[in-house]
Amino acid sequence: MESDSLLRAQQQQRLAAYSVTWHEDWQNLPHFSENRTDAPIWLIANEFLDALPADQMMRQQGQWLERRIALTEVTAEAELQAEAKDIAHPAPATNHDDLIPLRFIAIPVDSIRAQLLQRHYPDCPEGGVVELSSSRQIWVQEVANLLHRRGGGGLIIDYGTPRPDWLSSLQAYGHHQQVDPLRQLGTVDLSVAVNWQEVVTTLSLHVAAVTPVLTSQADFLRQMGILQRLAQLPPARQQAEQAGVDRLLADPGMGQAFQVLTLLSQPPLKLSSSA
């Protein structure tokens, strides 16, 4: 599945020797068709929501501002200096987007959006940041509506706090190292922590037929019996797996940094027993 036409063309060229079918939208996949009623939906999304686009709203001097990206003005003198440097010390051909001069700016939001932000996030302190994502809202609503029509359940696992911590979580990683999010455009992974309050509120307001349950990763794994499963392994295997289990349950650490959202269709799906 690839929604970007340019990337899809590149993939088709590289995989021309194989029989591959592309889909532009996950709802076009055969199993997710609205016309199917013979099977429920079981969906697992791991670190998917943090990759969707998000907006950053900031509270400064009693007003709400939106953080945006703008081009930095480059003077003619700076351009000449850059050209002279390139001529004297030519750099290897790399990503030209790395040379685009970008910067963060903040602009006031309109009055309606400011009222909504103040209503939903009245505790945001001075200098605090609220991260919102309409793409996330749309996606979780589509998943919940699909579960309501077809029955089933879903697990959505991602990092983020149950309630906003009023900090910017925008980060970029390239070659397993954290880098500047405004450089090397298109070659690094960008992500923003999930605003779980926004996700759960969206589901509660718009999809009453699906029950959302949010728990920390540590609590979820304990409830699923991760410690009991570890104890059943042979001693040598237990020792090999112990560090990984500790890392998944760590507090502070992954155990609390990651949350698990469980979605269940209502009424609960009835499974027929085989004869």
pTM: 0.78
Worst-scoring range by mean pLDDT, 173-177, 185-189, 238-242, 263-267? Answer: 263-267
Among all chains, which residue has been given the structure tokens 């000449």?
Answer: 80
On the question of pLDDT at 183 being above 80, the answer is: yes
**CA–CA separation, 47 and 165 (whole Å):** 19
For residue 202, what are the CA distances in angstroms to 135, 147, 188? 12, 15, 30
Hey, how many other C-beta atoms are within 10 angstroms of the C-beta on 80? 10
pLDDT tens-digit series, residues 217-255? 999 999 999 999 999 999 999 999 999 999 999 999 999
Angle between helices 196-206 and 134-150 in degrees, nearest 10: 40
Please state whether beta strands 55-60 and 129-132 pair in parallel, antiparallel, or not at all (unpaired).
antiparallel
Please state whether beta strands 152-159 and 41-46 pair in parallel, antiparallel, or not at all (unpaired).
parallel
Identify the top-confidence range among 143-147, 203-207, 252-256.
252-256
The contacts of residue 199 (CB under 8 Å, 6+ apart) are: 49, 136, 137, 140, 212, 261
Q: Are 34 and 142 in contact (CB under 8 A)?
A: no
Edge-first strand listing for the sheet containing 63-71: 102-108, 63-71, 55-60, 129-132
Q: Tell me the fold of 34-53+133-160+195-268.
A: Rossmann fold (3.40.50)
**CA–CA separation, 81 and 83 (whole Å):** 5
Among all chains, which residue has been given the structure tokens 């009835």?
Answer: 270
Q: Where are the domains of the chain?
A: 1-32, 34-53+133-160+195-268
On the question of pLDDT at 257 being above 70, the answer is: yes
Q: Which two tokens stand for residue 83?
A: 């050209």
Please give the pLDDT value at position 38.
Answer: 65
pLDDT tens-digit series, residues 5-62? 888 899 999 999 998 888 877 767 766 665 666 678 888 999 999 999 999 999 999 8
pLDDT tens-digit series, residues 68-109? 998 876 545 544 554 554 444 444 444 445 556 888 999 999
14 compared with 266, residue with greater pLDDT:
14
Query: Which DSSP string corresponds to the chain?
Result: ----HHHHHHHHHHTTTS-----SSGGGSGGG-TT--SS-EEEEEES-GGGS--EEEEEETTEEEEEEEEEPP--HHHHHHHHHHHHHSPPPP--GGGGS-EEEEEEEPPHHHHHHHHHH-TTPPTT-EEEE-HHHHHHHHHHHHHHHHH-EEEEEEEE--SS--SS---EEEETTEEE-TTSSTTTSEEE----HHHHHHHHHHH-TTEEEEEEEHHHHHHHTTHHHHHHTS-HHHHHHHHHHHHHHH-TTTHHHHEEEEEEEESSPPPPPPP-
53 compared with 270, residue with greater pLDDT:
53
